[in-house]
Amino acid sequence: MLGKAAVGKRKVNIAVFGGSNSAMTPGYLSAVTEILTDVHQFDVKVANVSTGANTSAFGLLSMKMGREIETNDVFIIEYGINDYELRRPDTWVFYCGIVEGMVREVLQRNHRAQVFIVHFGRRPRQTAVFHEKMLQFSLSLCDRYGVHTVPVDAYLKKTLQEDEFAGAYSDDMHYRRHLVTSFIGTYVANFIAAALFSDTPPRHDAKAQSALTFEDSVALHAQDVLSGPPKTFENTRYLEQTITIASGKTVAFAAPGNLLLVRYVSSPASCRVTISDNDGEGLTFDTLCKEVASGKFPFLVRSTAFSRRNWLGLSKGRKNEITIAALPKDSDRPLTVERGDMLAPTGTGDLAFHLSAILVC
């Protein structure tokens, strides 16, 4: 929690669902809190459930699993940098459905919520076309629902010279601390303050714009669908409860819908896994993060989405059987999902897959 108490100030409780730029401490959110408190005279508390290297589908699952929507009144959604992975034509429908689904999830559970979709960008210029496409979609949601788009990437490009813009990043995906993150945080805070002072209510009953949305998806904890050895991963930010599937083992369970997302923990002994359902689409991917293998973190929370399947051709809510095969270390099964931040298993002890939750629709 971040916050400063103040007598007589208007209380503002902010929930943040985002990627690594939102998870960094200190980062732009530190400036958001400071400016809202000291300049705009709000009494601010921030519940930050952001997790790096995950897309908007992970954000929707986080909303389903937690109580932040009922206990906060301002919501920051920031996954645009990671959603760049959904830039292909066959995943655009998925992207639109997920982002609009998050907006609808918040507004239908909290009719007075103020929602801010914060658009960061990547440093490489070749990503600009898709980021502009995402921005225009967010603006269309603003018109429909009365939510807010905060165009940070466009603001930086307009404000900074080209060499200054390149220098605003510490790498291709993260803004430089502390000068740039303070600059961004001030912009975001002023944007939020202007909306709060206008106090215009959102339109929670607006009809959906996208061909499909996922606000009716269902989050299931691993303990809800599997019986097996539990394992808890805990640090100052996370308390992640998982069910362990040992390498070489296969489990199956019933689920009330099509598999949309799998949430899991990457540990030093994580293995490769294949996950499929009745539709026949199986995804094979590694679950060992490079930063975990190097010892930088003892564990990380990660997810994999079924974003390329033909969602428009599937019946929602159908009974489904999901199969998870935790592959042995010597398995030669080829990957169907490859990520630059993941490695093939390197552990020398007993390998396993640590399932945290799934999202079905």
* Predicted local distance difference test score (pLDDT) of residue 155: 96
Q: Residues in the chain with pLDDT < 70?
A: 1-8, 280
| Phi, psi values for residue 135, rounded to 5° | -60, -45
The helix or strand, by DSSP H or E, that contains position 115, with its residue range, turns out to be strand 114-118
The helix or strand, by DSSP H or E, that contains position 259, with its residue range, turns out to be strand 259-266
* Predicted local distance difference test score (pLDDT) of residue 199: 82
C-alpha–C-alpha distance, residues 323 and 216, integer Å? 23
Query: What 3-state DSSP class applies to 255?
Result: strand
Query: What 3-state DSSP class applies to 50?
Result: coil
Place of tokens 């002994």: 269
Q: How far apart, in Å, do the first and last CA atoms of the chain sit?
A: 32
The pTM assigned to this predicted structure is 0.95
| Phi, psi values for residue 282, rounded to 5° | -115, 140
CA proximity to 243, closest of 228, 221, 259: 228
CA proximity to 4, closest of 44, 32, 39: 44
C-alpha–C-alpha distance, residues 18 and 78, integer Å? 4
| Phi, psi values for residue 197, rounded to 5° | -70, -30
* Predicted local distance difference test score (pLDDT) of residue 3: 44
* Predicted local distance difference test score (pLDDT) of residue 318: 84
Domains of the chain in sequence order = 2-198 (3.40.50.1110), 218-360 (2.60.120)
Here the tokens at position 35 are 């400016």
Give the CB-side neighbour count of residue 348, counting CA atoms within 13 A.
Answer: 0
pLDDT in tens, 284-334: 999 999 999 999 999 999 999 999 888 988 888 888 999 999 999 989 899
pLDDT in tens, 301-312: 999 999 988 898
Is the peptide bond preceding residue 201 cis, with omega within 30 degrees of 0? no
